[in-house]
Chains A and B, each alone.
Chain A
Amino acid sequence: MSAGREVIDQDARLDGSDGLAELTGLIRRVVAGRVDSREAVDDIVQETVARLLAASHRLDGRAVGPYAVVTARNLVASQWRRADTGMRHAHRLFDPRAAVAPDEALLEREEAEAIRSALDRLSPREREVLLAHEVHGRDTRSLADELHSTPGAVAAQLSRSRAKLRVEYLIELDREPPTGQCRPVLLSLSAGDKRRQSELDAGYHLLDCGYCAALSEPLFDRRAAAAPDEVRVAVEVDADIVVVRQRGRDLAMQAGFSAAEATMIATAVSEIARNIVRFARRGEVTVTVATDGDATGVTVVARDAGPGIPDIERALEPGFTTYGGRGLGLPGSRRLMDEFVIVSDVGRGTTVTMTKWRR
């Protein structure tokens, strides 16, 4: 716990390079205090930083340090577990897979049970909308029409319900939380609700509560999260460009694209998100899974209310630039994707819609 207090005192934050350097030093101290091998320390520090960066946009500033400490501890613990399992299995002469199989079936049953119980913890309306969307494939627009709401509000509700489901599911697989504070804290972390995290002082709680510290690991594991079929990122500063392209790549991989194609999509997303930051100051990028008959693809829509582009033809010529870049943003994105449509209204904004289909 003392290492954790250290973070709070230093008020370690991720803003700026000093923040990350400081946090990395802190993580190293936490890990080095528990692990002997230098290589293992390096590995765990790197992994912790990677996870921290992946989760940072969903964390309140004061929760970043505690999250780093807790993640480092979790990684140290799981490394011990792995080493321990390795030792116990080392003397085995038979194929361990045969013995594992029945456990897997049991595990599946337990998971299904946990999902059912977790769904029961949602309100009837939350459950209904979530199931209509996830199971029956209803899109947010038709749900919004039915509920006399807007697609944006439905998407927000869906994301809150998913966050809640994730928390309840993990609780089901574990045990009831030890304190009344745990559920709201876990929920605020799961939902990436920074204001709520700050109100609840989620960072302090993570350091003090072993239960929540242990659950924070699967909670932030993006692979374990319910697969969203839409990524929506507000784009305003440089760092948002990295966030949106990484999430766009994840979605493309989920949609079955090869790593090479997903990288092309991520590159195109990066280019058009940069155009928003440079020219329009702020906007939004959404990445969705697209279907057309049997074809599956990914559609990227970048929207801004900036000054618009007076001469689109010219903007699409390689080399045309107004900000000292290499002028490859728009023409480059067009070459990376299969379909590319740009609509710009001078004085009102620009929308770029581009799609890539899976081969």
Chain B
Amino acid sequence: MFVSILRQGDFLIASIHTALDDTELLRFQEDLVTQIGTSRAQGIVIDVAALDVLDSFASSALRDLAQMARLRGAATVIVGIQPDVAFAIVRLGMELDIHTALGLEEGLAYLESVTSGNRAGGSALGALRGVDR
């Protein structure tokens, strides 16, 4: 699958580099959730700039991913949604229900702002981190 997941501090940066089909999207979802667990990341940025289309399946896959991440104590932000793609999502009648940001920098800034309280508590508690933010 043409996806990369990099670690940067307490965060994971997942970049999708090409259009993914449904099976690949689900695998990506699974891989990322697993990695949140093993790396004890506090937040994930998902860069979808290369996705040609965010249809109902892809949108709900991302939404489910954000929810699973939240259950593991990580916040999610989606970056790089192309304006055309965003427009089509709205026309399709989807609501993404996930925090989005323009680019990587803004995405990371958002994660910093929502996780700063948690990290002050020390990383040893990472695995026991609460679900609520």
Number of A interface residues at 8 Å Cβ cutoff, please give it.
34
CA distance A264 to B93 in the complex (A): 12
Q: Is the CB of B19 within 8 A of A49?
A: no
Contact A264 B1, CB 8 Å, known A239-B21, A270-B53: no
The 8 closest A-B pairs by CB, nearest first: A17-B1, A238-B21, A263-B84, A328-B56, A332-B92, A270-B55, A260-B84, A267-B88
Nearest residue, chain A, Cβ from B94 = A328
Contact A267 B53, CB 8 Å, known A241-B22, A328-B92, A336-B92: yes
Interface presence of B60 (CB below 8 A): yes
Contact A50 B88, CB 8 Å, known A238-B23, A271-B56, A329-B56: no
Contact A246 B52, CB 8 Å, known A238-B23, A328-B94: yes
Interface presence of B17 (CB below 8 A): yes
On chain A, the residues within 8 Å of B94 by CB distance are 326, 328, 332
Within 8 A of A (CB), among B1-23: 1-2, 17-23
Q: What DSSP secondary structure best describes chain A's contact surface? A: helix
Interface presence of B105 (CB below 8 A): no
B61 CB to closest chain A CB (Å) equals 10
Within 8 A of A (CB), among B84-115: 84-85, 87-89, 91-94
Name A's B-contacting residues (CB within 8 A).
Answer: 17, 20-21, 24, 46, 49-50, 53, 238-239, 241-242, 245-246, 249, 259-260, 262-264, 266-267, 270-271, 274, 318, 325-326, 328-329, 331-332, 335-336
Q: Is the CB of A49 within 8 A of B55?
A: no
On chain A, the residues within 8 Å of B91 by CB distance are 264, 267, 335-336
Contact A242 B56, CB 8 Å, known A328-B92, A336-B88, A336-B92: no
